[in-house]
Structure 1
Amino acid sequence: MSFDLVFHRDHADIGHLDGYDLEELLMDVKLVMCDLDGTLLTEDKTITELSRETIAKLKQKGVSFGIATGRPTESVLRTLQSQQILSYVDVVVTNNGVTWLDCKDQVESQTYTLNMQSAIEIFSYLKPLDVSFAIYDQRYLYTNKINDGIERLLRFHHLKPYLCEISEVKKSKIHKFILSIEENRMAELEVLAKRLPTTDYHGFKTQSDLYEFVDRRVSKALAIQRYAKKYGYGLEQVMAFGDTSNDIAMLKEVGWGVCMANGTEDARIVSNDFAFSNEEDGVARYLIDHFKLV
């Protein structure tokens, strides 16, 4: 079933498209994928009771549910457990699509990693912007300097800081390369990042002060596609919710992409529809409305 439609987007009528029966269009959806920060999570990093109840009802209708985030796997599982929804989750796509965990058989798979030499090249090119780099594993976050963004990553992921020069990081492959910068300089970084002298990797803003690089082939959409293929269906049978640049490929390539009202413009323009903000139970309200979860 194809969802390739042309329509007029009306920001004032969030969650509805005149002239189309979304209930009929979405009957073939097998999987709903949801970003975490700025999408399913509220600004205080919690999942509401309405969201928990809605996901449970969605599962009762036979639709699978998954998370797609830039966070590392252990951090995501810890959050889902503390927010009491881990038992409802079928798949967790992490590191912006570098890794994905099938929660049914507990097998974690990998798409493509980034060469450490690429991270050194990126940092050398962008260092004049006074950026801090972040490379982490399950225990440590390696960085040249701790700023607000790095401090937040340490806290969210329960990691220990390891201060060093980038040349001292003894790794040949990494999941992703993160740069933290003052918010008022992010626009400069975005411009310069597009001028990097190679196509081996690509980057995107993930938060107002964080910019990430991954292998050029990596996206949340790729990991979702591999999971869906494992169970015999394609991206056209997936609905996804997101809010910003690292969600673009996912929102664009799935059958039905929904951008949050708090989303960035680049995410909005590739989406099929819009939901209320993460502070207004946007994901839950959209699912209740369109899957008739009463």
Structure 2
Amino acid sequence: MSFIAIDLDGTLLNNENEISEENINAIKFAGENGIEIVISTGRAHFDAKKICERFRISPYVIGTNGATIHSKYGECISSITISKTNVEQILRWLDERNYYFEVFTDKSIYALKERREIFQNEINSLKRVELDEDMKELVNVAERQFDQFGYVLVDHCQEIIQRNEEVNNILVCTFDMKKLEEARNQFNKRIDLMVVSSAEHNIEITNRSASKGLALEKLVFLMSGSLEQSMAIGDSNNDISMLEKVGYSVAMGNAKEDIKSICTTSTLNNDENGVAHAIYRYIDTFVAKR
């Protein structure tokens, strides 16, 4: 059994946050050829599920950068959390330094109301000045982030800590690159944490045992499948672990060169149905020859 693991933002989703009809048809065609589809995203599983339902697809979902795995029917297969002690330490450090952050649990995405308004103002300020095309798209990506399903806005960091919920992922966002690098360095030195990024303005913190690659490996093993015969498609730093796990890795046309350099091949960008193009080429090259 082979799998196709597909990132969402910047990959399957176009710049309008939609899945094109061409990509939907390609996913269905892959299913008809006996291939299991896996959405592998930094988003929460419940947010990814809403998107999939909206566009009439029913894949497995690897959520919060590999911290969760859910079946096609929404059943939890695996959940890896950050320890309660680490969650409190991370949140207090971020809060004391006035970062905007989001806390992903099994049912909600928590954010501080005031910090969200400040981050939105940061976005609005950037939209009022002359930006190059890459920066314009980055600002649009940041703004689309607020379209996620499951937000719960609170007034104080302590409210999140006191809820004592299991936390899968903590997302940190800022356009102050020096400030972002400070946070990256702070948590990168921790041997029990994993720090990745899905865009230039963020970092995402999980348990060291959680990554898209490890989650895909676990799912494929449970399903008695083959990583060597599987494909992964992505565009960002948080996709590297799964791109390196499979036999056939595809970088989106909009991916940076460091992502393209580790992949088997590249495809068109996310506004040009790059996922569909990659799926048909994979099936023609590998599946049809079996």
Question: Which TM bucket (shorter chain)?
Answer: 0.7 to 0.9
Cα RMSD, aligned residues only = 2.6
Give the conservation status (yes or no) of the 8 Å contact 1:180–1:210. yes
Q: Residues of 2 paired with 1:123 and 1:133: CA distance?
A: 8
2:74 aligned with 1:102: no
Equivalent residue, structure 2, for 1:40: 12
> 3-state SS of the aligned residue for 1:194?
helix
Give the conservation status (yes or no) of the 8 Å contact 1:154–1:161. no
Equivalent residue, structure 2, for 1:190: 181
> 3-state SS of the aligned residue for 2:11?
helix
Equivalent residue, structure 1, for 2:100: 132
Q: Would you say how many aligned residue pairs link Structure 1 and Structure 2?
A: 260
Aligned amino acid, residue 291 of structure 1: I
Q: After superposition, what is the alpha-carbon deviation per residue over 1:43-86, rounded to whole angstroms, capped at 9, x for unaligned?
A: 10111111111111111111111110111111111111111223
2:64 aligned with 1:92: no
2:110 aligned with 1:141: yes
Q: Residues of 2 paired with 1:81 and 1:44: CA distance?
A: 17
Q: Residues of 1 paired with 2:144 and 2:155: CA distance?
A: 16
Q: Residues of 2 paired with 1:188 and 1:268: CA distance?
A: 27
Moved more, 230-239 or 216-225: 230-239
2:230 aligned with 1:257: no
Superposition map of 1:22-37 within 5 A: 30-37=2-9
Give the conservation status (yes or no) of the 8 Å contact 2:184–2:203. no
> 3-state SS of the aligned residue for 1:270?
coil
Give the conservation status (yes or no) of the 8 Å contact 1:93–1:220. yes
2:61 aligned with 1:56: no
Superposition map of 1:1-294 within 5 A: 30-86=2-58, 89=59, 91-103=60-72, 106-125=74-93, 130-137=98-105, 138-139=107-108, 141-143=110-112, 145-146=115-116, 147-148=119-120, 152-166=144-158, 169-170=161-162, 171=164, 173-181=166-174, 183=175, 185-186=176-177, 188-190=179-181, 192-196=183-187, 197-292=189-284
Equivalent residue, structure 2, for 1:16: none
> 3-state SS of the aligned residue for 2:15?
coil
Aligned amino acid, residue 76 of structure 2: E
Q: Residues of 1 paired with 2:258 and 2:186: CA distance?
A: 19
Percent identity between the aligned chains?
23
The CA deviation at 1:173 is 3.4
> 3-state SS of the aligned residue for 1:50?
helix
Aligned amino acid, residue 60 of structure 1: E
Q: Residues of 1 paired with 2:228 and 2:241: CA distance?
A: 13
Aligned amino acid, residue 190 of structure 1: E
**Distance change >3 Å, CA 141–CA 188, structure 1 → 2:** closer
